Amino acid sequence: MPVFRNARRVPYEPLEMFDLVADVERYPEFLPLCEALKVRRRAQSGEGVETLVADMSVGYKAIHESFLSRVTLDRPRLKVLVEYVDGPFRHLENRWSFKHDGDGCLVDFFISYEFKSFALGVLMGAVFDKAFAKFSDAFVARAEKVYGKRRTVPAGA
């Protein structure tokens, strides 16, 4: 089962980065492969946790797929969990966490997935891996657009 993980320091506050990731309706504007996203339902827990059920359409060249997922936005703990509900995957789980790190934030992104169809897995697997590698860049670019460019966090800091 393919797994991708990326931890990156960014010059933004954890809550700012959480809010960017939580703003799922904006994903088609900047996220690689995301063609459309529609939230079907929203529910508040009263503890600062919101759960969404959303349809996401992804595509690359002639291949287009849609899937349904449950997104748990845990604002007090600065965590996001995406769980697969229905679509072309056998398994999909995506986790984000945001922690204070010096003058910025450490963003931890994890995703594991497996397509139901072996052929689709072969066709889309390499494309997904490349897209996931660009996710953190896409969110940093989005942060710069929304919050303004800030000083860079030194490499290895």
Q: Structural domain boundaries of the chain?
A: 3-147
Q: What is the DSSP letter of 1?
A: -
Are 75 and 48 in contact by the 8 Å Cβ rule? The answer is: yes
Give the residue carrying structure tokens 């904006």: 26
Q: What string of DSSP letters covers 47-80? A: SSEEEEEEEEEEEETTEEEEEEEEEEEETTTTEE
Are 39 and 56 in contact by the 8 Å Cβ rule? The answer is: no
Residue length of the chain: 157
Give the residue carrying structure tokens 């996401």: 56
Q: Provide the mean pLDDT of the chain.
A: 89
Per-residue pLDDT at 112 exceeds 60: yes
Distance CA 132, CA 154 (A): 22
pLDDT tens by residue, 37-75: 999 999 998 799 999 999 999 887 888 889 999 999 999
Per-residue pLDDT at 135 exceeds 90: no
Beta-ladder partners of 57: 36, 66
pLDDT tens by residue, 2-25: 888 999 999 999 999 999 999 999
* Confidence at 157, pLDDT banded by 50, 70, 90: very low
Are 33 and 59 in contact by the 8 Å Cβ rule? The answer is: yes
CA 110 from chain centre, in angstroms, equals 9
For the 3-147 domain, the top CATH level (class) is alpha beta
The pTM of this model reads 0.88
- Give the chain's largest Cα–Cα span: 45
Per-residue pLDDT at 154 exceeds 60: no
